[in-house]
Structure 1
Amino acid sequence: MRKLALNDEILLKIEKPARYIGNEVNSVMKDKNEVDIRFAMCFPDVYEIGMSNLGMAILYDMFNKREDVWCERLFSPWTDLDKIMREKKIPLFALESQEPVRDFDFLGITLGYEMCYTNVLQLLDLSQIPFLAKERGEEFPLVIGGGACAYNPEPLAEFFDLFYIGEGETAYDALFDAYIANKKAGGTKKDFLLKAAQIPGIYVPAFYDVTYQEDGTIASFTPNQPEAPSKVEKQLVMDMDRDYNFLEAPVVPFIKATQDRVTLEIQRGCIRGCRFCQAGMIYRPTRERDIEDLKEAARIMLKNTGHEEISLSSLSSSDYSELKELVNFLIDEFRDKAVNISLPSLRIDAFALDVMSKVQDVKKSSLTFAPEAGSQRLRNVINKGLTEEDILHGAGQAFEGGWNRVKLYFMLGLPTETEEDMKGIAHLAEKIAERYYEIPKDKRNGKVQINVSTSFFVPKPFTPFQWAPMFREEEFIEKAKIVKNEIRSQLNQRSIRYSWHEPDVTVLEGFLARGDRRSSKVILKAYEKGALYDAWSESFRYDIWKEAFAETGVDMEFYTLRERDTDEILPWDFIDAGVSKEFLIREWKQAKAETVTPNCRQRCSGCGAKRYGGGVCHEGQN
């Protein structure tokens, strides 16, 4: 019988003890003596958020399909348990076996958000694993990172043995086979890493040297081992029928997860080409899943989990070519089983509204639009592909269909932004309110409510805006005040609510997103001074980070305020992410010229992803 790592006395003292006991429906138990690899799969945030991560669920299922691998899960302990574990010197443990992570072969960490970087150090610390990879001997697990943030791994490079760049279904089998072969041959950790570096998509930071110019920019980034490639190429699943890991029985959490539903991934990639969007660039080209596979997956996963909601996952669900058939199937198939259908990432058009009127209850929840910018000029700069006419037309149809609540998402601080663009946010919200009151009074559903939310722009690697400067936090606040004051001057101001993201978090995210290896000492210093759960407003302490910058001598503004030259060596330039640097430079120039680039189905723009084959790039629509 499995012995829990935490006794009853501890479990009674902490919030949500079900986060730590494991043994959920569909979790995988194996005999550790019957496997060659023990893999601890970690998400550096609380259980409820990590259990909502589709990528983690796919890899957990895929790894455990191998008889020679046992993959277990772990998440960041919340601050209450963190304190107890330190006081009682309890090592961090995996949920399935309840055994210490330090005894595993691999510690795999999903890197989805920069503000979780201090949680990565918490995981190492509580696992009693040295922070720096160079200080870890043969007795410690190999620490591997993956996910969207791995497309600039450099701020974390000192802490990881290796990174996986791309989609996990492709090269992990080769990595595991190499590990088992090396283990049987009596090879060392370095022997394995030399073999791993030759596997496509694997980056071993220790095998690369960085030098810097006097002005602080990178002078060179070169391999120091012949086995290490000069370019690490991202790995993609191109045959979504043959190579996609068909997830049949995801683990069902004991407590309500952030996304408490079956997630059905309908496609990968995006055709839209928004110039601020990292996911839209790094996951190119677009690859659709077969509709019959999706129908079967929906039936099986709902049966195996007991969930009462199914969500269609995609960067842009409206662009899935067989969406109408799929949605109508789900509505008809599960009408008698009280299964809700969630449709995120829809472009609001007649079909979307028709579908949502079928799948939502009579109260009708808010509709969400993401214009991103307040003026058409700035929407052209960011290549949003959405006109004011589109927005007002969609809102009008929604209002006529009975909706009276709208959420609008914008960004402030975008390249070339003017005060007129900022005020345009208020003007667009006012026009939407006016559109509501154009409907005959007897057809209105009470008063209209428009919730305007602005985040602050963060330039991300492998986007056309990766060279763009940011602003200081006080400048971001001033921009928010301009919007707020303009909203207050509108006729329908009482119908418009306004909120904005924290500017200090945004500035720090910008530093971590475009940082280099020198950033690691700031992260480590901040963690040592108490930084943890920086993604949580109640835990974030910017004063700690300011002290960390001062004590390490690292100038944050060098990374955030400076516009980069397009010929500068960027920390992530050694990664081939599919989109070429030439394409990104061309799009950066197109942005400054306020020129729109057609989406991938309208015309191929030569981004570089075509060489992968498949997807939109293989449909002859270019």
Structure 2
Amino acid sequence: MKFPEFEDALWPLLAQVSRPSRYAGCEWGPVKPKEPDPSLVRFCLAFPDVYEIGMSYVGFQILYSLLKHLPRADVERAYCPWIDMEDLLRKNNLLLGSIETDRPLSTFDAVGFTLQYELSFTNILTMLDLGGIPLYSEERGESDPIVFAGGPGALTPEPIAPFIDAFCLGAGEITLPQMVDVLAETKGLSRDERLLALSRIEGVYVPSLVDVTYGEEGVSFSSVHQTLPIKRQVIQDFRGAFYPDSLIVPAAGIVHDRVPVEIFRGCTRGCRFCQAGIIYRPVRERTPEEIKEIIQRLVLASGWEEVGLVSLASCDFSGLNTLLNDVAPFLDEKGVKLSLPSLRMDSFSVDLAANLEIMRRGGLTFAPEAGTQRLRDVINKGVTEENIDNSLNAAFNHGWNRVKLYFMMGLPTETEEDLKGIIDIALHALSIGKACKRNVNIAVSVAGFVPKGHTPFQWERQNSIDELREKGQFLKHQIYNRRVSLKYHEPEQTFLEGVFARGDRRLAKVIESAWRKGARFDGWSETFSLQRWFSAFEENDIDPLFYTTRQRSHSEHLPWDHIDTGVSRAFLWSEHENAVKKQLTPDCRWSHCHGCGWQNNGCQWSKGGSLL
């Protein structure tokens, strides 16, 4: 069912905006909306960035299909309009609607945001406001949708907690069906009663039911309605876990334009800077047979000519060789290429990539992360000088001429020698290429380190804007060979990301102030303005450096301590201490259990079992 008054008014606007394909729909594969039924719970999945980014997120495809399969639910999607379309919607008094039917966001029963990146927070306010929904949870009435949010950002939720009615912590495949049942069964009850009912679902956090106090020892949480801490929901056995029967295929190009197949969740490598490696534990794999069946089904249903094996570290999949051998005849027959979005820094991964035709078209990307062995040991990267040499030799001997190297600057204990090590590795890569008689180019990308919650570095200070800029310029000045290029991430954006990565509920007013001053798409350099943010901090009497350049003590209560990811605080602190001692913690899949917290909570590795 369309909403003609919005659809008819929207189409003339498409000729006036950049990338009209973001709003036109015309996709292949979306299931038609179900027939009108007052008993249905109508969801809108909202992605706070532009269409081509949101459509590349595999989680959206999974949850969309899951909700379509539930008999008591229906679902549509919305993406954040670019600034030009936002202006036109406001000038024409049009509400932001779903891409399927143009149904305004305010007419859904529930609107759910995916939290992938801290610098998309102002886009959430844009979508709420354009969709006709009050910004703050406390301002919403009985007829307004329940606004919920999930994704990795939901595990450090406090900066946007006043805008969100409920957070889904962990696997949406578990929490969403329960939310559908609760929302269906509580139709006709008051908003407060419905939120209270949602809070009784394990893994659902309702901020309005939790009181926050700020003191010398940090942030404290209390509630008479919700049991604290709130546990992240986890699919214990990934074998047979829900996966779509079909995919939505866009009519225009998106960032990751391929069939995404999630082969496993979790990571046990234990990089101390990596939030994803902590919050997605434990490792749970699908079987090669199951993955093969998913690939065949989705290739035939979608028509895509590339399949991407999705995970935090695809080359760690224990059945990878079996899978590649089994699926190769089908892919060859259909003319479909296979890609691995992430490669380990070892010759095995390079040899593997060399056998995948689509990966030979461009350069290879590796992530040493730090320039010296000492600092790689501090962050527990597990990459040695020998790994680097073997990977680069394998890459150039297999015929690649371009290699991209990812590093971070501002890591704990970093020295000038560690920064020089970044240049040394780049120049060493160049010399290996020459020795292999290749005309090579080395691209170096350096990001500022942001300490994240739920990681061993959550207590560490973050480098200031000036420190990061000086380090970036120092690195640029070390490059004298035209075959080596170096780019570093804007320190202003890194600074703001750091504020919200470890922020508390007091930042909500700052987000609103910056948004009202025009902050939009803060993760995009062409629209980012730090001055707006400094003005918003000053307006609300908030010192942003309190959240970034300040070292935290072990005893401080942190703004995410009421969220239980399954990994214990004691383990994170022990890993922090190991970092100080430059002591490696080996991957528990190949060594022994390190007692991260999952050993008594469903981790198959700690029990000596096989996932396959």
Q: TM-score range by the shorter chain?
A: over 0.9
1:125 matched to 2:95? The reply is: no
Structure 1: gaps of 5 or more residues:
none
CA 1:361–1:263: 2 relative to 1, 3 Å: closer
1:453 matched to 2:445? The reply is: yes
Distance 2:360 2:56 in 1: 26
Letter in 2 for 1:536: W
CA 1:302–1:618: 2 relative to 1, 3 Å: farther
Alignment of 1:343-422 (within 5 A): 343-360=340-357, 364-422=361-419
Distance 2:84 2:361 in 1: 38
Distance 2:30 2:360 in 1: 37
Which residue among 296, 299, 302 is the counterpart of 2:299?
Answer: 302
Report how many residues are paired. Answer: 606
Q: Report the 3-state secondary structure (helix = DSSP H, G, I; strand = E; otherwise coil) of the residue aligned with 2:355.
A: helix
Q: TM-score, normalised by structure 2?
A: 0.96
Distance 1:235 1:7 in 2: 39
Q: TM-score, normalised by structure 1?
A: 0.95
1:433 is displaced (CA, Å) by 1.6
1:17 is displaced (CA, Å) by 2.4
Which residue among 175, 185, 188 is the counterpart of 1:171?
Answer: 175
Distance 1:5 1:75 in 2: 19
1:613 matched to 2:602? The reply is: yes
Distance 2:524 2:212 in 1: 33
| Corresponding position of 2:559 | 571
Q: Report the 3-state secondary structure (helix = DSSP H, G, I; strand = E; otherwise coil) of the residue aligned with 1:109.
A: strand
Q: Report the 3-state secondary structure (helix = DSSP H, G, I; strand = E; otherwise coil) of the residue aligned with 2:558.
A: coil
| Corresponding position of 1:241 | 239
| Corresponding position of 2:536 | 548
| Corresponding position of 1:515 | 503
| Corresponding position of 2:220 | 220
The answer on whether the counterparts of 1:29 and 1:97 sit within 8 Å (CA) in structure 2 is no
| Corresponding position of 1:38 | 42
| Corresponding position of 2:315 | 318
| Corresponding position of 1:29 | 32
1:436 matched to 2:439? The reply is: no
Letter in 2 for 1:187: L
Q: Report the 3-state secondary structure (helix = DSSP H, G, I; strand = E; otherwise coil) of the residue aligned with 2:24.
A: coil
Which residue among 201, 205, 208 is the counterpart of 2:207?
Answer: 205
Worse overlay, 80-89 or 335-344? 335-344
1:97-144 Cα distance to aligned partner (Å, 9 max, x none): 211110110010000000100000001110121111001110100000
1:484 is displaced (CA, Å) by 2.2
Q: Report the 3-state secondary structure (helix = DSSP H, G, I; strand = E; otherwise coil) of the residue aligned with 2:573.
A: helix
Structure 2: gaps of 5 or more residues:
none
Letter in 1 for 2:526: E
Distance 1:112 1:263 in 2: 17
1:532-571 Cα distance to aligned partner (Å, 9 max, x none): 0111111111111111111111000000010111111100
| Corresponding position of 2:80 | 76
Distance 2:11 2:432 in 1: 59
Distance 2:293 2:227 in 1: 41
1:432 is displaced (CA, Å) by 1.7
1:563-617 Cα distance to aligned partner (Å, 9 max, x none): 1111111000001101100000000111011110011212211000223314433
1:175 is displaced (CA, Å) by 1.6
Distance 1:512 1:6 in 2: 37
Q: Report the 3-state secondary structure (helix = DSSP H, G, I; strand = E; otherwise coil) of the residue aligned with 1:324.
A: helix
Calculate the aligned-residue CA RMSD, in Å. 1.6
Letter in 2 for 1:206: S
The answer on whether the counterparts of 1:521 and 1:552 sit within 8 Å (CA) in structure 2 is yes
Distance 1:24 1:357 in 2: 34
CA 1:124–1:502: 2 relative to 1, 3 Å: same
Worse overlay, 376-385 or 11-20? 11-20
CA 1:593–1:339: 2 relative to 1, 3 Å: same
CA 1:327–1:339: 2 relative to 1, 3 Å: same
The answer on whether the counterparts of 1:155 and 1:516 sit within 8 Å (CA) in structure 2 is yes
1:360 is displaced (CA, Å) by 2.4
Letter in 2 for 1:14: V
Distance 2:124 2:404 in 1: 33
1:495 is displaced (CA, Å) by 2.2
1:192 matched to 2:189? The reply is: no
Q: Report the 3-state secondary structure (helix = DSSP H, G, I; strand = E; otherwise coil) of the residue aligned with 1:169.
A: helix
Distance 1:497 1:92 in 2: 42
Worse overlay, 413-422 or 170-179? 170-179
Which residue among 18, 22, 27 is the counterpart of 1:19?
Answer: 22
Letter in 2 for 1:286: V
1:492-521 Cα distance to aligned partner (Å, 9 max, x none): x23211110000000000001100000111
Which residue among 569, 586, 590 is the counterpart of 2:578?
Answer: 590
Distance 1:146 1:233 in 2: 13
Letter in 1 for 2:566: G
Q: Report the 3-state secondary structure (helix = DSSP H, G, I; strand = E; otherwise coil) of the residue aligned with 1:212.
A: strand
Letter in 2 for 1:600: C
The answer on whether the counterparts of 2:345 and 2:383 sit within 8 Å (CA) in structure 1 is no
The answer on whether the counterparts of 1:157 and 1:520 sit within 8 Å (CA) in structure 2 is yes
Distance 1:160 1:415 in 2: 33
Distance 1:614 1:388 in 2: 32
| Corresponding position of 1:136 | 140
The answer on whether the counterparts of 1:287 and 1:616 sit within 8 Å (CA) in structure 2 is no
Distance 1:258 1:404 in 2: 24
1:284 matched to 2:284? The reply is: no
CA 1:327–1:349: 2 relative to 1, 3 Å: farther
| Corresponding position of 2:257 | 260
Worse overlay, 145-154 or 356-365? 356-365
Q: Report the 3-state secondary structure (helix = DSSP H, G, I; strand = E; otherwise coil) of the residue aligned with 1:504.
A: helix
Q: Report the 3-state secondary structure (helix = DSSP H, G, I; strand = E; otherwise coil) of the residue aligned with 1:82.
A: helix
Q: Report the 3-state secondary structure (helix = DSSP H, G, I; strand = E; otherwise coil) of the residue aligned with 1:390.
A: helix
Distance 2:242 2:232 in 1: 18
The answer on whether the counterparts of 1:39 and 1:106 sit within 8 Å (CA) in structure 2 is yes
Distance 1:234 1:16 in 2: 38
Q: Report the 3-state secondary structure (helix = DSSP H, G, I; strand = E; otherwise coil) of the residue aligned with 1:118.
A: helix
Distance 1:511 1:411 in 2: 18
Distance 2:607 2:416 in 1: 43
Q: Report the 3-state secondary structure (helix = DSSP H, G, I; strand = E; otherwise coil) of the residue aligned with 2:324.
A: helix
The answer on whether the counterparts of 1:32 and 1:38 sit within 8 Å (CA) in structure 2 is no
CA 1:362–1:468: 2 relative to 1, 3 Å: closer
Which residue among 103, 113, 116 is the counterpart of 1:112?
Answer: 116
Q: Report the 3-state secondary structure (helix = DSSP H, G, I; strand = E; otherwise coil) of the residue aligned with 2:404.
A: strand
1:523 is displaced (CA, Å) by 0.5
The answer on whether the counterparts of 1:210 and 1:220 sit within 8 Å (CA) in structure 2 is yes
1:134-169 Cα distance to aligned partner (Å, 9 max, x none): 011101000001001111110001101110000111
1:482 matched to 2:485? The reply is: no
Worse overlay, 369-378 or 8-17? 8-17
1:34-55 Cα distance to aligned partner (Å, 9 max, x none): 3510101010000111011111
CA 1:401–1:246: 2 relative to 1, 3 Å: same
The answer on whether the counterparts of 1:427 and 1:487 sit within 8 Å (CA) in structure 2 is no
- How many percent of aligned residue pairs carry the same amino acid? 43
Letter in 1 for 2:113: I
The answer on whether the counterparts of 1:162 and 1:204 sit within 8 Å (CA) in structure 2 is yes
Distance 2:461 2:347 in 1: 38
| Corresponding position of 2:460 | 468
